[in-house]
């Protein structure tokens, strides 16, 4: 009986990870089965390990002990850690494979406001140092390495990083190490984060790095608009990632795709690829709705962004890079975008700067090509496009199709500014007057614009055969 149950569970997990994720020729399919997420044969409550949900008692040991106990079931169908309603104060803790961390309605996990409860760990190899400071970095509140089949979900429970103390330390120059994320999973396959609210992260909120098969869905992510570097979701050197149906208001980029920093990212050579961002709404007054880079030295490709709605914000979509980054950004398709009161709708920055140390190679130039914007609309726009490439390293095959951006009447700046960028445009208002842009895409240039021809789709690792793509 036990053996037959284990066989059933293995088949079920394989149906999820190797069916839902892999059955469409290696591309990402965003649908998932609730039965797989909800069913774990072993379940315990955090209260069984002495946790107290009063918002004052530190429960780090309770989380650690519960997960140590549940790890014995990882090869017996997996386990569920139930967090009931209450305020559960904790420091950093490690997740395990084949786990569901479930936050019930009214449950809040609170990050400790003492830095001692956020251990210090080594820098990521693709960064070579902490992102903010040389050397090591604080570990995230919810952390894990080399895991399989991890689900963080619930009935819209909350994970609150209580980051204001970290923001003050950062502004006052009082930090010895880079600030922590709320969630960071490293080298993990099969990760789902859904149906939760994230508040006040000390640094980036959700950081899957060196991961595969990641679904981020139905999240609300909030931080004050002036909070420093509180990115929403940052897929980093990861592949097969889906981010959808999220509302994000933060002090930095809502979503930022990364893949390592200068010589460290080039050496580690772990790209981000096959990423879908769908139905994201939000605001950022300092940064971008969707950013690629600036840390993109391992390469970024096959990115699909659809149904983005950004309001009262600084920048809509931005690609950031610099001499010394190396790497590439190619095969990006952006469609069905709405901007309202956005200062810079589309921005490319070729000289972003910010290097980890003096050892980068300034001759390591990035390749930026085949970026398509289709069906983009906006009103109350300050500048339609600031497209700044790199001298001697043109950004090429940048395409705009059916783009209407209503620029504010009192704007004194030209709607489009281009340098070292070359591409094509059709049905664009205000018209792109840069000499480096052709006025028509069809029929002769459609193959140069990613996502606009069957030829391009067939070349994109089988994406043209994917229901994921065809459903668009």
CA angle 297/299/303 to nearest 5° reads 135
Would you say residue 25 has pLDDT above 80?
no
Given a contact cutoff of 8 angstroms between Cβ atoms, the answer to whether 275 and 301 are in contact is no
Question: How many C-beta atoms surround the C-beta of residue 145 within 10 A?
Answer: 14
Percent of the chain with pLDDT over 90: 84
How many residues in the chain?
472
Residue 443 pLDDT class (50, 70, 90 cuts): confident
Cα→Cα distances 455→331, 400, 405, 451, 461, Å: 13, 18, 29, 9, 12
Which pLDDT value is given to residue 238?
98
Q: Is the pLDDT of residue 416 over 80?
A: yes
pLDDT over 70 at 30, yes or no:
no
Alpha-carbon distance of 206 to 190, in angstroms, equals 15
Of the listed ranges 12-21, 181-190, 293-302, the one predicted with least confidence: 12-21
Rounded CA-CA distance 388/371 in Å is 14
Q: What is the mean pLDDT of the chain?
A: 90
Among residues 215, 195, 197, 214, the alpha carbon closest in space to that of 205 is found at 197
Q: Which residue from 49, 139, 39, 47 is spatially nearest to 98, judged by alpha carbons?
A: 39
Question: From the centroid of its chain, how far is CA 323?
Answer: 23
Q: Is residue 9 domain-resident?
A: no
Distance CA 393, CA 408 (A): 32
- Residue 19, strand partner residues: none
- The answer to whether 453 and 447 have CB atoms below 8 angstroms apart is yes
214 domain-assigned: yes
Q: What tokens appear for 3 in the block?
A: 């053996």
Of 24 and 230, the structure prediction assigns the larger pLDDT to 230
289: closest CA among 367, 343, 351, 328?
Answer: 343
Structure tokens at 97: 């494979």
Give the span between the Cα atoms of 434 and 57, in whole angstroms: 61
Mean pLDDT computed over 117-140: 98
Tell whether 1 is covered by a domain.
no
Which contiguous run of DSSP H or E holds residue 60?
A: helix 60-70
Q: What mean pLDDT is predicted for residues 393-420?
A: 94
**pLDDT confidence tier of residue 411, bands split at 50, 70 and 90:** confident
How far is C-alpha 463 from the geometric centre of its chain's CA atoms? 21
Residue 23 lies in a domain: no
Model confidence band, residue 118 (pLDDT cutoffs 50, 70, 90): very high
pLDDT for the residue numbered 38: 57
Residue 28 counted as domain residue? no
Total domains in the fold of the chain = 1
**Residue 26 — pLDDT band, cuts 50, 70, 90?**
very low
Among 438, 416, 412, 409, CA closest to 425: 438
Domain that holds residue 324: 42-354+361-457
CATH number at residue 130: 2.160.20.10
Region 356-385 average pLDDT: 98
CA dihedral 47, 48, 49, 51 (to 10 degrees): 10
Name the phi and psi angles at 362, rounded to 5.
-65, -15
Residue 349 near residue 388, CB atoms below 8 Å: yes
**Cα-only R_g, the chain:** 22
Average pLDDT over every residue of 210-216: 98
**pLDDT grade, residue 460 (50/70/90)?**
very low
**Residue 35 is assigned to a structural domain of this protein:** no
- Assess whether 252 carries a catalytic annotation: yes
Q: Which residues contact 391 (CB under 8 A, 6 or more apart)?
A: 420
Residue 88 has pLDDT above 70, yes or no: yes
Residue 455 reports pLDDT greater than 70: no
**Residue 103 pLDDT greater than 90, yes or no:** yes
User: What is residue 449's three-state secondary structure?
Assistant: coil
Structural domain contains residue 471: no
Q: pLDDT by residue (tens digit) across 187-212?
A: 999 999 999 999 999 999 999 999 99
Find the helix or strand (DSSP H, E) in which 69 lies. helix 60-70
Average pLDDT over every residue of 93-107: 98
CA atoms of 376 and 433, how far apart (whole Å): 18
Give ∠ CA 268-271-277 in degrees, rounded to 5: 145
Q: Which helix (H) or strand (E) holds 272?
A: strand 272-283
The residue from 149, 160, 213, 252 that is catalytic is 252
pLDDT digit string, tens, across residues 63-83: 999 999 999 999 999 999 999
Helix (H/G/I), strand (E/B), else coil: 36: helix
More confident residue, 150 or 458: 150
Structure confidence by residue, pLDDT tens digits, 235-288? 999 999 999 999 999 999 999 999 999 999 999 999 999 999 999 999 999 999
Compute the C-alpha angle 269/272/276, nearest 5°.
Answer: 170
Answer with the residue of higher pLDDT: 413 or 42.
Answer: 42
Enter the pTM of the model.
0.90
DSSP class of residue 203 equals: S
Under 8 Å CB-to-CB from 72, ≥6 apart: which residues?
none
Dig out the tokens for 121 from the structure. 């760990």
Q: Which residue has the higher pLDDT, 428 or 21?
A: 428
pLDDT at 448 over 70: yes
Residue 472 in any domain: the answer is: no
Which of 301-339 are b and which e, b meaning 16 or more Cβ less than 10 Å from the residue's Cβ?
bbbbbbbbbbeebbbbbbbbbbbbbbbbbbbbbbbbbbb
CA 385 to chain centre: 23
If pLDDT is split at 50, 70 and 90, which confidence band does 31 have?
A: low
Cα distances (angstroms) measured from residue 50 to each of 60, 63, 95, 161, 182 = 10, 9, 18, 22, 23
């Amino acid at each position: 009986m036990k053996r037959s149950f284990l066989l059933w569970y293995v088949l079920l997990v394989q149906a999820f990870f190797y069916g839902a994720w892999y059955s469409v020729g290696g591309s990402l399919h965003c649908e998932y089965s609730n039965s797989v997420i909800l069913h774990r044969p072993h379940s315990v409550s955090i209260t069984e390990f002495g946790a107290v949900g009063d918002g004052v008692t530190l429960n780090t040991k309770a989380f650690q002990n519960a997960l140590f106990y549940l790890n014995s079931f990882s090869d017996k169908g997996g386990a569920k850690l139930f967090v009931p309603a209450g305020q559960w104060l904790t420091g950093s803790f490690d997740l395990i494979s084949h786990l569901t961390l479930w936050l019930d309605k009214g449950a809040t996990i609170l990050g400790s406001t003492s830095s001692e409860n956020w251990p210090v760990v080594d820098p990521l190899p693709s960064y070579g140092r902490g992102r903010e400071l040389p050397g090591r970095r604080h570990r995230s509140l919810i952390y894990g390495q080399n895991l399989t089949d991890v689900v963080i979900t619930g009935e819209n429970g909350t994970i609150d990083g209580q980051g204001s103390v970290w923001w003050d330390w950062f502004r006052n120059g009082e930090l010895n190490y880079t600030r922590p994320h709320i969630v960071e999973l490293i080298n993990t396959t099969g990760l789902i984060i859904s149906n939760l609210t994230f508040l006040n992260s000390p640094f980036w909120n959700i950081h899957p790095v060196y991961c595969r098969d990641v679904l981020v869905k139905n999240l609300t992510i909030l931080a004050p608009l002036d909070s420093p570097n509180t990115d929403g979701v940052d897929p980093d050197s990861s592949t097969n990632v889906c981010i959808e149906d999220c509302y994000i208001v933060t002090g930095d980029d809502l979503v930022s795709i990364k893949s390592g920093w200068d010589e460290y990212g080039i050496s580690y050579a772990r790209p981000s690829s096959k990423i879908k961002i769908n139905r994201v709404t939000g605001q950022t007054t300092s940064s971008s709705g969707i950013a690629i880079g600036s840390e993109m030295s391992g390469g970024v490709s096959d990115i699909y962004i659809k149904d983005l709605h950004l309001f009262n914000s600084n920048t809509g979509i931005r690609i950031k890079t610099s001499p010394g980054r190396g790497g590439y950004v190619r095969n990006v398709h952006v469609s069905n975008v709405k901007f309202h009161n956005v200062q810079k709708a589309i921005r490319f920055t070729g000289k972003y700067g910010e290097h980890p140390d003096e050892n980068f190679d300034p001759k390591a130039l990035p390749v930026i090509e085949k970026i398509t914007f289709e069906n983009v609309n906006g009103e109350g726009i300050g500048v339609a496009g600031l497209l700044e490439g790199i001298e001697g390293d043109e950004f090429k095959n940048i395409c705009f199709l059916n783009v209407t951006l209503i620029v504010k009447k009192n704007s004194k700046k030209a709607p489009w500014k281009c340098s070292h960028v070359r591409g094509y445009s059709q049905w664009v208002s205000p018209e792109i007057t840069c000499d480096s842009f052709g006025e028509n895409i069809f029929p002769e240039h459609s193959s140069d614009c990613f996502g606009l021809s069957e030829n391009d789709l067939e070349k994109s690792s089988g994406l043209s055969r994917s229901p994921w793509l065809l459903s668009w």
